[in-house]
Chains A and B, each alone.
Chain A
Amino acid sequence: MNIGNFFKISFKALANNKLRTFLTMLGIIIGVGSVITMLAIGQGSKKSIQSQISEMGSNMIMIHPGAQRRGGVRMDASSMQTLKLTDYKSILSDAQYVSYVSPVVQSNGQFIYGSNNYPSSIYGVDADYLEIRQLSVEDGDLFTDLDVQTNAKVCVIGKTIADNLFTNGENPIGEVIRFNKIPFKIIGVLKSKGYNSMGMDQDAVVLTPYTTVMKRILAVTYLESIYCSAVSEDMTEKAIDELTEILRENHKLLANDEDDFTIRSQQELSSMMSSTTDTLTILLSCVAAISLIVGGIGIMNIMYVSVTERTKEIGLRMSVGARGRDILTQFLIEAVLISIAGGLIGVLLGVLASVAIKMFAGWPTYIQPWSVIMSFGVCTLTGVFFGWYPAKKASRLDPIEAIRYE
């Protein structure tokens, strides 16, 4: 008997009892659908956290002055003055694995415009800072190298600042706001980035040349930190090693001296965050796997009952010349057809459910192709596995007893 006939027979048998077929499929449909949906939710939250991190700049490397021991007393890192402009200049000229570098000096205070005021930090940075933090200027311009050289009192403000100071909808560009009685001319407004995953408003910033902050506001010669970005995410490790070398040399540290600075990369943060979501994904996958097994057991139940219910039919098929293995093949093909059809419907429902959750509940979902392939494959295997035993039982029936079975 050729395989086409088997399919014809199995298909016919399934079509003849649509309700039974559908109920059998239901287990698989729910199994596959829930695996896909749950994985989509897990992957979606992982991805959204990852993208938030990369919004902050995935290649970002932060250099802070390190805690240092002075005569046995460990000093507070923020009070250290070990990072100098010369470090910035050496990194700028020597580092190969670093694509952007910017010094950062920061001060806090009230910004005042007319009768409005708003508290915020003012960051003294280089133009590279925007590349490192993946910021962009929406309106107006960024300050130039000339502004940096001349300690110009110009600034670029974030959306939150603009909204709070310019409440009547005035165009902020060209206006002058005051910070610690120093007037700053607004030359640009940053594109909004919203809140980050830690709940910090990324738009409550004012950027100005670092020279301005160092000389006009803080009157200091050291830097609070240096931000860099590695040429690519993979190069982060190499960039960190290189930066360590440059800084140790600059600071004239001996081989067994501790670093007087600390270098941290965004990758550490990223791996910490994704381990949280991995736990979530594992949890959801377990729930989904259980539903898949339940679906498989459903197939076994119905196939098993169906063998008993169809004993007479099996007896007839055997009496007209079906061999045990023909019956086995027919029941297996039925199980495979049910599993595949159920799997396909499950994939469809899972995808629809993921999209619906994204649209109506607003949860981030992301369907990974491997999750579809895996759940579909597992369900087909489950179906065949659980269909095997009843099929084997059917193939071993005695035709004499089967045909007289009532």
Chain B
Amino acid sequence: MNENVIDVVDIRRDFVVGDETVHALRGVSFTIKQGEFVTIMGASGSGKSTLLNILGCLDTPTSGEYYLDGSSVRKMSKDERAILRNRKIGFVFQNYNLLAKTTAVENVELPLMYNSKVGSAERRRRAVSALEAVGLGNRLMHKSNQMSGGQMQRVAIARAIVNDPAIILADEATGNLDTRTSFEILTLFQKLHQEEGRTIIFVTHNPNIANYCSRNIILSDGKIKEDTYTQHIMNAAETLKSLPIEDN
């Protein structure tokens, strides 16, 4: 595996809206090494969603180069990018995006369904171990509508790690959760980062989350405004313990 999992070289992304051209990204360059836990922050309209789409191979830059795990994404076709997403990227969304009326284990199996190299026994085994890794080993057969928000997000995280991706892309992954559950999810991300050495990119509005990550990139007007390494990484599990226990 390449040491630089993500290598972004001067990427620009323009959108043509009517007669105007909107410059969502105006030349962004950075590299992310394997095992980093990076937050990307910025105000609305700063270009972070556009950057996330490009990092997630859902979109391609207008100019500049993007190498994911050593391969250049810009020249890839739609189908090639779909395969790349399937093998190298795990998505975690703000609103979970689980399949309705579907069990946890089937939701987690989903990415592997689109990978013909994984047989059904192997698929089930990996889905179960991913669910165990997020602490839902006892809820394999629960359907998505029978779970709480925190549990659903755990299933989504299990789905993101089941294909053993090069990067996990989390888009406001704690945005829909209450404080307590947010820290539980954050604890889980820290665990995946520290114990399994996973590369995580966390896009968020919440400046507080930056304290729990190793690196923080702040975007403004389509450019990198700040790129800092966190000196004292806080432990989400400890924060969780210090939170007042709610009655519910």
Does A318 contact B100, Cβ atoms closer than 8 Å? no
User: Is B233 part of the binding interface, using a Cβ–Cβ cutoff of 8 Å?
Assistant: no
Does B83 contact A12, Cβ atoms closer than 8 Å? no
Report the nearest B residue to A406, measured CB to CB: B95
- Chain A residue numbers with a CB within 8 Å of B43 are none
- Chain A residue numbers with a CB within 8 Å of B83 are 321, 323
The tally of residues in A whose CB lies under 8 Å from a CB in B reads: 25
Does A313 contact B99, Cβ atoms closer than 8 Å? yes
Report the nearest B residue to A316, measured CB to CB: B97
**In B51-102, which residues have CB < 8 Å from any A CB?**
53, 56, 58-59, 78-79, 82-83, 85-87, 91, 93, 97, 99-102
Question: Mind listing 25 A-B residue pairs with CB under 8 Å?
Answer: A1-B115, A1-B116, A5-B113, A8-B113, A12-B102, A16-B99, A16-B100, A16-B101, A313-B99, A317-B110, A318-B82, A319-B56, A319-B85, A321-B83, A321-B85, A321-B87, A321-B115, A322-B86, A323-B83, A323-B114, A324-B79, A324-B82, A325-B79, A326-B82, A403-B93
Chain B residues within CB distance 8 Å of chain A: 53, 56, 58-59, 78-79, 82-83, 85-87, 91, 93, 97, 99-102, 106, 110-111, 113-116, 120, 159, 163
- Chain A residue numbers with a CB within 8 Å of B87 are 321
CA distance A312 to B144 in the complex (A): 15
Given A16-B101, A326-B114, A400-B59, A321:B82 Cβ within 8 A: yes
Given A325-B79, A400-B58, A320:B111 Cβ within 8 A: yes
- Chain B residue numbers with a CB within 8 Å of A12 are 102, 106
CA distance A12 to B93 in the complex (A): 23
User: Is A341 part of the binding interface, using a Cβ–Cβ cutoff of 8 Å?
Assistant: no
CA distance A89 to B157 in the complex (A): 100
CA distance A324 to B97 in the complex (A): 19
CA distance A312 to B58 in the complex (A): 15
CA distance A198 to B93 in the complex (A): 78
- Which of B58, B100, B120 has a CB less than 8 Å from the CB of A319? B58
- Chain A residue numbers with a CB within 8 Å of B159 are 320
- Chain B residue numbers with a CB within 8 Å of A315 are 97
- Chain B residue numbers with a CB within 8 Å of A312 are 97
User: Is A171 part of the binding interface, using a Cβ–Cβ cutoff of 8 Å?
Assistant: no
Cβ distance B157 to chain A, nearest Cβ, rounded Å = 13
User: How would residues 392 to 406 of chain A score, 1 for a CB under 8 Å from any chain B CB and 0 otherwise?
Assistant: 000000011001000
Q: Closest 6 CB pairs between A and B?
A: A321-B86, A320-B111, A323-B82, A321-B114, A16-B101, A316-B97
